[in-house]
């Protein structure tokens, strides 16, 4: 299988991976033969790419980092939990941020959250995700297929998976990883308390509107703090996931020191909690490789290029180094274009990851420079250093 743009889809193609809705249900299952109706529906729903099965790539099996059932349940639990404060604040949604804060602090939201069965579900699914991530030796580098309207829920799951994998490399124990997972699953709860048009309309925001968006970590924190089953670590991940190394992040302008975010690292006053430094990097990566209302998704190698420029100022350098050791720049099943050598402009699919060098995979060439299908052949980029590639979505 390999990943293609929905604009490239043709009737008769076979879906390689299931499409999961924002409610956690399966919209189209793996193995479905696409029709004009299905293709048109995927476009209208806002999906930008899918995996398809292909006779010459059947041996390329793209596994999810967590089980499909686990992902579906996580999305359902997040959606259910986020709906509690939304329902309580539905009559004040257009109110000022200060009024929303007052309602959170004086209303019944905390009591309803604390007594909710859904909160217990978040704890249970956090354990499940940690167990499944720890069973993987390497992440796929691929995130779930998102559309604009369901970005928040799927984004929370994808950030959780990547953050747990990174924190494991920094030797956090399982209990801390579970607390981290809880914080990641809930990190954007503050977003749903803000007018969604600020996120979903393809327009440039005013300075005042961006200031409203910057309140979402605070809104999330005051919603969740002091709830025993949430805990202080998870609550502060929600609070600090937009703080940057240079102190230019929000909401408090905390700083980082670009040292390894190890479990025993001292948390100094005015500095970012180490686990939140990990979440910030994961949050940036997932946002870049996901489609947004104002742009298409970047490929993973493009995301890495952007993040390298953010190293030291925005992203903790040591976290980014570790990310490069965990995520392949060219994930399995993604399409690439050859940029040098005699096969320049030929299009290929990543058929195997070189674990010793994640940026130099084995590729299977499928199209020539005129985009005509050819007899496939493979190139091991680790053995051919003169051949370079770039990620594309055809």
- Domains 2-53 and 68-326 fall in the same CATH topology: no
Average pLDDT score over the chain? 91
Per-residue pLDDT at 146: 67
pLDDT value at position 147?
63
Q: 2-53: which CATH topology?
A: Molybdopterin biosynthesis moea protein, domain 2 (3.90.105)
Alpha carbon distance 247, 40 (integer Å)? 45
Residue numbers of the chain with a pLDDT score lower than 70: 91-95, 143-150
Contact call for residues 335 and 392 (beta carbons, < 8 A): yes
Collapse the DSSP code of 110 into the 3-class scheme (helix H, G, I; strand E, B; otherwise coil) and give the result.
Answer: helix
131-177 residue pLDDT tens: 999 998 778 777 666 665 567 898 999 999 999 999 999 999 999 99
Share of the chain above pLDDT 90, in %: 70
- Cβ neighbours around 204 below 10 Å, total: 8
- What residue spans define the domains of the chain? 2-53, 68-326, 335-392
CB atoms within 10 A of CB 232: 12
Q: Residues 282, 166: contact at Cβ < 8 Å?
A: yes
CATH architecture entry for 68-326: Orthogonal Bundle (1.10)
């Amino acid at each position: 299988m390999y990943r293609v743009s929905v604009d490239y889809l043709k009737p008769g193609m076979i879906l390689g991976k299931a499409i999961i809705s924002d409610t956690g249900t399966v919209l189209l299952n793996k193995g479905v033969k696409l029709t004009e109706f299905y293709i048109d529906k995927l476009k209208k729903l806002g999906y930008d790419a899918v995996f398809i099965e292909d006779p010459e790539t059947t041996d390329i099996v793209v596994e999810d980092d967590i089980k499909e059932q686990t992902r579906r349940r996580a999305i359902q639990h997040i959606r259910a939990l986020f709906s509690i404060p939304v329902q309580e604040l539905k009559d004040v949604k257009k109110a000022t941020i200060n009024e929303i804060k007052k309602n959170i602090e004086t209303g019944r939201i905390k009591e309803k959250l604390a007594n909710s069965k859904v909160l217990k579900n978040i704890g249970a699914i956090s354990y499940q995700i940690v167990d499944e991530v720890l069973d993987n030796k390497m992440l796929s580098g691929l995130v779930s297929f998102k559309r604009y309207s369901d970005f928040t829920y799927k984004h929370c799951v994808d950030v959780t998976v990547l953050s747990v994998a990174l924190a494991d490399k920094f030797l956090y124990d399982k209990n801390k990883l579970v607390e981290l997972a809880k914080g990641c699953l809930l990190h954007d709860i503050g977003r749903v308390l803000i007018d969604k048009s600020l996120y979903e309309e393809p327009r440039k925001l005013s300075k005042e509107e961006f200031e409203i968006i910057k309140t979402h970590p605070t809104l999330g924190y005051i919603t969740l703090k002091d709830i025993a089953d949430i805990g202080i670590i998870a609550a502060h991940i929600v609070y600090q996931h937009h703080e940057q190394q240079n102190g230019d992040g929000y909401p408090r302008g905390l700083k980082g020191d670009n040292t390894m975010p190890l479990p025993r690292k001292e948390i100094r006053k005015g500095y970012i909690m180490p686990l939140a430094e990990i979440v910030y990097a994961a949050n940036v990566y997932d946002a870049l490789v996901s489609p947004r209302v104002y742009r298409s998704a970047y490929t993973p190698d493009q995301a890495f290029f952007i993040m390298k420029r953010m190293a030291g100022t925005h992203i903790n350098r040591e976290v980014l180094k570790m990310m490069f050791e965990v995520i392949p720049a060219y994930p399995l099943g993604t399409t690439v274009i050859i940029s040098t050598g005699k096969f320049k402009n030929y299009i290929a699919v990543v058929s195997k990851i070189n674990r010793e060098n994640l940026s130099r995979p084995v590729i299977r060439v499928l199209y020539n420079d005129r985009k005509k299908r050819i007899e496939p052949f493979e190139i091991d980029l680790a053995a051919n250093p003169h051949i370079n590639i770039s990620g594309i979505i055809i």
